[in-house]
Amino acid sequence: MQTDTSTNRTNDAKAAAENMAHHASNAAQRLGEAAKSAGKHVGAVASEELANLRADLDDLIARIPTLSDVDLEDAKEKLLAKVAATKESARSVADNAREQFDHGVECTRECIKDRPLQSVGYAAAVGFLVGLLMTRR
């Protein structure tokens, strides 16, 4: 009878550890996908802005010989405005990515505060799985 109880407890502990590892894996995967998505978005916006800026520069360089001083000054102002807009857009995207990252960190902290023992279990399970994966290679 004592053996059955300890076996049940062992099985329950294994099941709980597997469940925690599964939840931790899912959470890590979602966090990684969110970070990857944010990174792709930042890269796409930056690439688009730089491509627009390059096209404007190419156009300006092609027209320089035909521009008067007034036209050249106007082109310079427009170019500087484009550079400022590009910088602002990049700053906005970076701020947005930073806010999303900070939100993820805050959610993680809240989860750890709400369930400290479960968090320790997740960390132990993830550490165990990483150790298994590292020893297999």
pLDDT in tens, 91-128: 888 888 888 888 888 888 888 888 888 888 888 888 88
Q: Tell me the pTM.
A: 0.46
Helices 116-136/2-63 angle, 10° precision: 80
pLDDT digits (tens, 9 = 90+) for 25-80: 666 667 667 766 766 776 777 778 778 778 877 887 787 788 788 887 887 888 88
Ordered by start, the domain boundaries in the chain are: 24-136
Q: Evaluate if residue 14 carries a pLDDT over 70.
A: no
| Mean pLDDT within 79-97 | 82
Helix ranges restricted to H, the chain: 2-63, 69-114, 116-136
